[in-house]
Chain A
Amino acid sequence: MGRTYNIIKYLCLLAWATFVVFPFLWALSTSFKDANAVTSGARYIPWLEFEPSVEGWTSLFASGSRGINIVTPFMNSASVTLLASIVSLGLGTLAAYGLSRFSYKAGFIKNSDITFFFISQRIMPPIVLAIPFFLMLKEIQALDTIFGLVIVYVALLLPIAVWVMTDFFASIPKELDEMAMIDGCTPIGAFFRVVLPNSTAGLVVAGMFCLIFGWNDFFFAFILTFTETQLLPVAIVSLNSSVTPWWSLSAFALISVTPLALIAIVVERFMSRGSLAGAFR
């Protein structure tokens, strides 16, 4: 029984794995096609079914009218995502530590209400905030700038950082900071000298989630930028709505998803060690 069960299990896993990699393989194959190979129906294997061409890849770095610039949007995406993640992680970690160690009270508002206020921002559909954000950034002349996008992305990522870090700090024994304070540290000193150095696991997990949600956002970048500060997702969608050269499109897509796909390796490591469990209660 065990043997048949195992065979069936591996077959199912392979089936799902095929489904998962299929769009990537299809994009990889398409990125080496030319117009001829694309318009003659679905082809999969280079050399055997079509003559490969590197135009899809070279067009991304070529200049002039035939070229599609991928470098600028890539750098823009990287800057916005990194800046917003760092700010969110910094502010979020401090707030999460505060919420897990001290009690705050303002009228009927208590710690749990403040935590809920942070996390509940995830419920907000982006469309609700789109128009006011547009007008607000216009007012401070931050439309179509990296600075403007970072402001908006901090609102998007801060709730994630607070959420993951609150649960993480709840799992760190309070004795740790109490010991430090007995040794003469102020609460702030205890946090920076003792708690923070022991929080790498939580910071990595929270940081990864900030990077994922920042890098992958499309809607706000789409609404709040035009031509100066184009991010990757916006650039690819505008490419899609023009003539649609499938080969460039596929190469572009592969370049823009690869950096984050590699994060999966790190996430798996934390998951298997059980370090993620505390973060999702």
Chain B
Amino acid sequence: MLKSKHFFLLPALLTLAAIILFPLIFTVRVSFSSWDVYQAGLDYIGGRNYARLMEDTRFWESLFRLSGMSFITVTLQYVLGFALALAVWKDMAGGRFFRILFLVPMMTTPVVMSVIWRTVFHESLGPANDILSMVGIGPVPWLSSAAGAFISVVIVEVWQWTPFMFLLLLAGLVSLPREPYLAAAIDGASPARTFWQVTFPLMAPISIGAIIIRLIEASKIMDTVYVMTSGGPGTATETPSYYIYIRGLREFQVGYSAALSLAYLVLMIIILTIIAKLLMRFLVGKDD
């Protein structure tokens, strides 16, 4: 018995540990060194990289920007994804067509679609401004102004990942029990009341799961930003991943970027844990 149960678990566990643990330990060690483009090597400089990080306003600004961006995109994705899932939940004409179509964006490669979106948002040759000009809205500087670039990234993220919310929430709706709805119908509850009193509470656990997964993925955002705006104009759309990429892989400040990435990882884990706990408390009304 002992042998066969390890036959199942150990191959995967050892593989993952072998691939992940070395890089992680290595990053911790490098973050205490001054490894850069002039001098590669593992010297020891104590916590100097971490001290520098505390005063690096560009890093902290990118974190705040990421928080705002994640909050806006995930909220939009959740609301839109839930609305769409509710709309096609019950049998209806064309339901299958809409369900398939609404899933497609999450299957497409983010960088590839970002390349297309970049042409859509092109200020003089793209259709975004062309369509807006038909309703009399003047050319919007989509990618060359701070606000425009931020909104463009948000639009692309909502386009790409609302389908993920839609998928999880619809899968949840399909498997809901029928009895509470019968009870609500017997009581003569209005559709709005049925939603808030029955559907929404029953969907709370899966909602929390979906929101957390999306927040985790949103916190890593890098591909879209890299292709659409390269963090610009200036640093208007720079996220921590992209900033660390510049420090580490463009400027080869390997030691400093290791410190940055560990700080980023730890902050993400803390913040996401707090958000998960808060969501649990508000939506389910219990701790943990």
Interface residues of A (CB under 8 A from B): 9, 12-13, 16-17, 19-23, 26-27, 30, 38-39, 41-42, 44, 91-92, 94-95, 97-99, 101-102, 104, 114, 117-118, 121-133, 135-136, 151-152, 154-155, 158-159, 162, 186-188, 191, 212, 215-216, 218-219, 223, 232-233, 236-237, 240, 246, 249-250, 253, 256-257, 260-261, 263-265, 267-268, 271-272, 274, 276-281
Contact = CB atoms under 8 A, between A and B. Distances in A.
27 contacts: A42-B130, A91-B11, A91-B15, A98-B7, A102-B9, A124-B265, A125-B222, A127-B241, A128-B261, A135-B26, A136-B26, A158-B16, A159-B16, A188-B4, A212-B106, A212-B107, A216-B108, A216-B109, A236-B112, A237-B111, A246-B119, A249-B115, A249-B119, A253-B113, A257-B109, A271-B170, A274-B175
B111 A233 contact: yes
Interface string B189-221: 000000000000000011001100100110110
Chain B CB within 10 Å, residue with most, of A135, A246, A271: A271
Interface in B87-126: 87-88, 96, 98-113, 115-120, 124-126
B209 A131 contact: no
B167 A155 contact: no
Contacts of B20: 121, 124, 129, 155
A18 to B, nearest CB: 10
A49 to B, nearest CB: 11
A127 B240 CA distance: 9
Contact of A123 (B210, B226, B268): B268
Interface of B: 1, 4-9, 11-13, 15-16, 19-20, 22-24, 26-27, 30, 80, 83-84, 87-88, 96, 98-113, 115-120, 124-127, 129-130, 159, 167-168, 170-172, 174-175, 205-206, 209-210, 213, 216-217, 219-220, 222-223, 226-227, 240-241, 244-245, 248-249, 254, 257-258, 261-262, 264-265, 268-269, 272
